[in-house]
Amino acid sequence: MSTSLSTAPGDLRSGLGRNLTYGMLDALGRAIVTGQYETQPFPTEAELAKQHGVSRSVTREAVKMLTAKGLLSARPRQGTVVQPASSWNLFDTDVLRWLLERQFSVELLRQFSQLRIAIEPEAAALAAQFGTAEDLRQISAGLARMEAAERGMDDTLDADIAFHVAVLRASGNPFYAQFRDMVATALRTSIRFTNRIKGRTASVADHAAVRDAIAAKDPAKARTAMRSLIGDVVELIDAADGSEAA
Amino acid sequence: MSTSLSTAPGDLRSGLGRNLTYGMLDALGRAIVTGQYETQPFPTEAELAKQHGVSRSVTREAVKMLTAKGLLSARPRQGTVVQPASSWNLFDTDVLRWLLERQFSVELLRQFSQLRIAIEPEAAALAAQFGTAEDLRQISAGLARMEAAERGMDDTLDADIAFHVAVLRASGNPFYAQFRDMVATALRTSIRFTNRIKGRTASVADHAAVRDAIAAKDPAKARTAMRSLIGDVVELIDAADGSEAA
DNA sequence: CAACCCCGATATATCCGATAAATGAACCAG
DNA sequence: CTGGTTCATTTATCGGATATATCGGGGTTG
């Protein structure tokens, strides 16, 4: 945000997104979730276009995408208004990323981890019941990457993500699989906290226990193993929160 | 001008949505999830506009919204293409509604209920821990409506939805609360199956057990009570599926 | 004085036509 | 046959005109 005002009315091309519309989507999305329009009214379509130096077409399309994600609502005469946060689609990876990237929001990360406590153990149980041989191979591959990362042969974070994503996919349920991108996004953000607290090699042994339970087709054991895994994450976040506040 | 041409190719105004763009969003969303573009390529922006009798602006904005929901992807020269179902945002109420309203949706309903088994019991446990007096009042109100519905004084489905939504909100976690619209959508669809199977007055006693556990601040009991509740739904869906296939 | 209706101001919605940029394929040169 | 170039197609972007919805004011009327 340091260069937002100085580099002309808008530098949307260099921002994330392959074109002006996506650049504006990202800029507006960030601005909305960081509460920049809580004190001032959301600009009109014409004002937005002028402020960012783009055409009304680009502006309207960006606004329409934000509307589709639940952040905005537009009506004639009334103008475009920011929707209350309760109607934002938190399961949209863009929205979640904007939320997590703002002022390191530990509270949000804790709440998301609370959700993971519900999702991932059940996904592991389903994987133990219905997972195919290929699914198990993918999970084992993720675990192998974590072991390799311990020896410095792979990236710790990527390996951790690969493991959790593999379990979610192995559930065979598209709704669980949907959490793939969200868990990846959240992990990439959370690593900034958790890594700072302790060496935290993301206990490979605990992950192996999950894999073994799934391989043994033991849903109950897979569920509890995964639950303790995520439980550790929550404790870690709480610890980070404490040190942050101090 | 709306009298002669618009009624034949596409009557987007009468369809859901307050304007042409939302009408086209709904029409295209339905067409995509029902697989109408699995055999034929997705039309170009110009073709879409002509087919539906609207301007390119409307077309582009509808496409952009579908892109935001993960259903489409557009690139110059290549054209606009339907994304694989794995990248669709299933937690978007529009997408979920389109999916549930299409023909073979029993399987999807079962998978969504599998997700509810993970979500709602945990939400009930959180509600028992952190729910406020007002939250409990809302839950009790939902239960009261269910009892009233048994006596024909209220709508059974609306009352059921109100109860589950109240529990989700009482969790105090925005991610759990987010399932509000999805559960409502799914319940409205599932009623078509579950109601057909048996009288099914959605056992008020079981719902009362959940409320009582939350009122008693007993997370474990709230969790198991809610779990058995959703478990019944799954069994009902399975039964409906069996009778459908027979 | 109060209720109602009409009108104007304002913002989005829609249409349109032109130009720019990206990109894959056909084409041509070496 | 290889490699770069041209070309055609499609989305991206621009901007101006018109239509439509909606709120608020002001005048009229009971």
- Asked if the C-beta of B51 comes within 8 angstroms of chain A's C-beta atoms, the answer is no
- Asked if the Cβ–Cβ distance from B118 to A122 is below 8 Å, we say yes
- Asked if the C-beta of B114 comes within 8 angstroms of chain A's C-beta atoms, the answer is yes
Q: Measured between alpha carbons, how far is B160 from B204 in angstroms, rounded to an integer?
A: 9
Q: HSE, CB side, 13 Å, CA atoms: give it for residue A89.
A: 23
Residue B60 CB closer than 7 angstroms to strand D? yes
Residue A230 CB closer than 7 angstroms to strand D? no
Max Cα distance, chain B (Å): 64
Give exposure, A190-213, as e/b (b: 16+ Cβ within 10 Å).
bbebbeeeeeeebebeebbbbbeb
- Asked if the C-beta of B90 comes within 8 angstroms of chain A's C-beta atoms, the answer is yes
The nucleotide lying nearest A57 (C-alpha to C1') is D13
Q: HSE, CB side, 13 Å, CA atoms: give it for residue A186.
A: 26
Which residue lies nearest D9, CA-to-C1' measured? B77
Integer distance in angstroms from CA B77 to C1' C30? 30
Mean pLDDT of A78-83: 95
Integer distance in angstroms from CA A98 to C1' D7? 41
pLDDT above 80 (res A98) = yes
Q: Measured between alpha carbons, how far is A52 from A67 in angstroms, rounded to an integer?
A: 19
Neighbours of B176 (CB within 10 A): 24
Q: Measured between alpha carbons, how far is B180 from B162 in angstroms, rounded to an integer?
A: 9
What DSSP state is assigned to residue A2? T
pLDDT above 60 (res A2) = no
Q: Measured between alpha carbons, how far is B187 from B109 in angstroms, rounded to an integer?
A: 9
HEC string of chain B equals CCCCCCCCCCCCCCCCCCCHHHHHHHHHHHHHHCCCCCCCCCCCHHHHHHHHCCCHHHHHHHHHHHHHCCCEEEECCCEEEECCHHHCCCCCHHHHHHHHHCCCCHHHHHHHHHHHHHHHHHHHHHHHHHCCHHHHHHHHHHHHHHHHHHCCCCCHHHHHHHHHHHHHHHCCCHHHHCHHHHHHHHHHHHHHHHHHHCCCCCCHHHHHHHHHHHHCCCHHHHHHHHHHHHHHHHHHHHHHHHHHHC
* Cβ-proximal residues to A240 (8 Å cutoff; 6+ apart), any chain: A106, A193, A194, A196, A197
Handedness of CA B18, B24, B28, B31 (dihedral sign): positive
Neighbours of B212 (CB within 10 A): 15
- Asked if the Cβ–Cβ distance from B65 to A60 is below 8 Å, we say no
Name the residue with higher pLDDT: A46 or B241.
A46
Identity of the residue in B61, B117, B176 whose CB atom sits nearest the CB atom of A115 = B176
| Band (A27; pLDDT cuts 50, 70, 90) | very high
Neighbours of A12 (CB within 10 A): 23
Mean pLDDT of B184-191: 84
- Asked if the Cβ–Cβ distance from B92 to A89 is below 8 Å, we say yes
Q: Could you report the per-residue pLDDT of B154-185, keeping only the tens digit for each?
A: 988 899 999 999 999 999 999 999 999 999 98
Residue A58 CB closer than 7 angstroms to strand D? yes
Integer distance in angstroms from CA A79 to C1' D25? 20
Mean pLDDT of A116-131: 97
Identity of the residue in B61, B118, B173 whose CB atom sits nearest the CB atom of A64 = B61
Residue B174 CB closer than 7 angstroms to strand D? no
Question: In the structure encoding, which two tokens stand for residue A242, read together?
Answer: 């404490």
* Cβ-proximal residues to A109 (8 Å cutoff; 6+ apart), any chain: A100, A186, A189, A190, A193, A237
Report pLDDT for A197: 56
Q: How distant, in Å, are the alpha carbons of A55, A129, A169, A240, B244 from that of B86? A: 33, 21, 10, 34, 27
Chain B residue with Cα closest to A93: B89
Residue pair A230/A120 in contact (Cβ under 8 Å)? The answer is yes
- Asked if the C-beta of B176 comes within 8 angstroms of chain A's C-beta atoms, the answer is yes
Q: Could you report the per-residue pLDDT of B27-41, keeping only the tens digit for each?
A: 999 999 999 999 999
| Band (A246; pLDDT cuts 50, 70, 90) | very low
Strand D bases near protein CB (under 7 Å) are 8-16, 19-23
Report pLDDT for A124: 98
The counts of H helices and E strands in chain A are: 11, 2
The structure tokens 């029409």 sit at B27
Report pLDDT for A120: 97
Q: How far apart are the first and last CA of chain A?
A: 26
Strand C bases near protein CB (under 7 Å) are 9-17, 20-24
Residue pair A149/A176 in contact (Cβ under 8 Å)? The answer is no
Q: Could you report the per-residue pLDDT of B60-70, keeping only the tens digit for each?
A: 999 999 999 99
For residue B81, which phi and psi values (nearest 5 degrees)? -125, 150
Report pLDDT for A1: 39
- Mean pLDDT of the residues in chain A: 88
Question: In the structure encoding, which two tokens stand for residue B72, read together?
Answer: 């489409």
Among B40, B56, B51, CA closest to B9: B51
A210 alpha-carbon distance from chain centroid: 23
- Asked if the C-beta of A115 comes within 8 angstroms of chain B's C-beta atoms, the answer is yes
pLDDT above 60 (res B46) = yes
* pTM for the model: 0.90
Minimal C-alpha gap between A205 and chain B (Å) = 25
- Asked if the Cβ–Cβ distance from A64 to B21 is below 8 Å, we say yes
Report pLDDT for A128: 98
